[in-house]
Structure 1
């Protein structure tokens, strides 16, 4: 049995750890509320963009814009969204496992794909596994702005436009609720017929100048950047929710450990008191 001092030290250290995890839980809860607010505020913009895409691309079935044209896939581009820091449960592991499973099932060589990574956790993991990373973005803010994300989104679009890759897929953790998130994948390039007809097309009766192809060359890259940015906002909400849950579980586990150690401490203390009484009584009897 451990000594009273050792048990007391463990109790104190666990209490300090509980204070830290409880504070991190509260911080993550606050960040989650802001992340959900950002997602809700961004949604009306996406709706208007979808309306414009539907009006221009949806009505023009013969559009030859590269972002709307399916082509043979010889090389794939993957964007994977992870966190910069740990302590988020299985958030990073689930997303990376989903990515690696698809790579192993689909590709025989690293020449058949390019990876763009958001988050230091993903960069470290993939480098340790020996994967080549085409580009990365670390130190992503908890509440990222569109401008901060636009650079790497543009690199993904350029890869596709230059035909360096024939498709672009994004891997992330989809936020369902505080207690649920799911590793997900969606194709952002080329845009599917469903993507180009998500809006209501209220502008379909408008005349477009100079022509629809010229307009598509401007708004389609912006739309894809918006898709990527909206996905990152979704992933950030999932990250904060997962970290909040992980820190709550850690705090609850700390409470259980403290309770168990307190019982052990009281038993050890009682045993020590009993031993002292026994020694005193034994000494008194010896003196008689």
Structure 2
């Protein structure tokens, strides 16, 4: 049985850890509110631009653009969005597992790692790293998404990639983050837009010019929304993980305190027995 001094030392260590996890939970909760507001604000715009793109693409049948070009798939790029740090439960593991399952042929695949966990995971396993974007901070900005989108768009137009998939964790609520993989390039028109009455559009200066502006904006917006979803999911997962760690620390402190009381009681009983034994020997 451990001595009372050892148990006190362990209780002090666990209490220090509990204070850290409690503080991290509060920080994550504050960041989650901001991240959740950003996601809620970005979703309507992302949904609407997808609808507009579908209507314009359906009305401009015959118009061509490099981002709409479908070709034989020889090289596939996966943009995998993870966190820069750990201590957020299974958040990173789930999205990395989703990406690993989505990759059909590692030899004909390239990875764009967004976040240190994504970059390090695929680097260690010998995947081809086309690029990495790390240290993006807690407040995701649109110019960061534009930089990532520009990289994959340029590579796709150049023919280095034939398909581009976006793998990220979709924010559902504080307790639930759903890893998803969506095709980013070539841009596909929403299936719903082929239904219903067709609308005639007048394009100025041309349908190709409109698509040339609309398609890159759609890609940038999709990447930006995915990054916001991932950031909100990360903070939700971290808050939940730190809350669980704080409760576990409290349970451990209770058990250690009980063990300390037993150790003290055993020491007192031993001292009493020694005193009684010594007194009996003197009689």
Does 2:224 align with 1:229? Answer: yes
Q: CA RMSD in A?
A: 2.0
Does 2:46 align with 1:46? Answer: yes
Cα separation, 1, equivalents of 2:170 and 2:45 = 20
Deviates more, 1:218-227 or 1:65-74: 65-74
- How many matched pairs? 282
Cα 1:51–1:127, aligned 2, differ >3 Å: closer, same or farther?
closer
Cα 1:130–1:51, aligned 2, differ >3 Å: closer, same or farther?
closer
Post-superposition CA distance 1:206-235 (Å, at most 9, x none) = 532111111111121111110011011111
Map 1:1-288 → 2, pairs under 5 A: 1-103=1-103, 106-107=104-105, 110=107, 112-194=108-190, 197=193, 207-288=202-283
> So what's the TM-score if we normalise by structure 2?
0.93
> So what's the TM-score if we normalise by structure 1?
0.92
Post-superposition CA distance 1:75-121 (Å, at most 9, x none) = 10110011111101111111112222232xx21x52x1211001111
Kindly indicate whether the alpha-carbon contact (under 8 Å) linking 2:102 and 2:181 is maintained by their aligned counterparts in 1: no
Cα separation, 2, equivalents of 1:52 and 1:212 = 13
Deviation, 1:69, is: 3.2
Cα separation, 2, equivalents of 1:13 and 1:48 = 52
Cα 1:159–1:201, aligned 2, differ >3 Å: closer, same or farther?
farther
Cα separation, 2, equivalents of 1:223 and 1:195 = 16
Q: Secondary structure at the match of 1:14?
A: helix
Which structure 1 residue ranges, 4+ long, deviate > 4 Å from structure 2?
none
Cα separation, 2, equivalents of 1:211 and 1:254 = 65
Cα separation, 2, equivalents of 1:90 and 1:48 = 32
Structure 2 gaps, min length 5: none
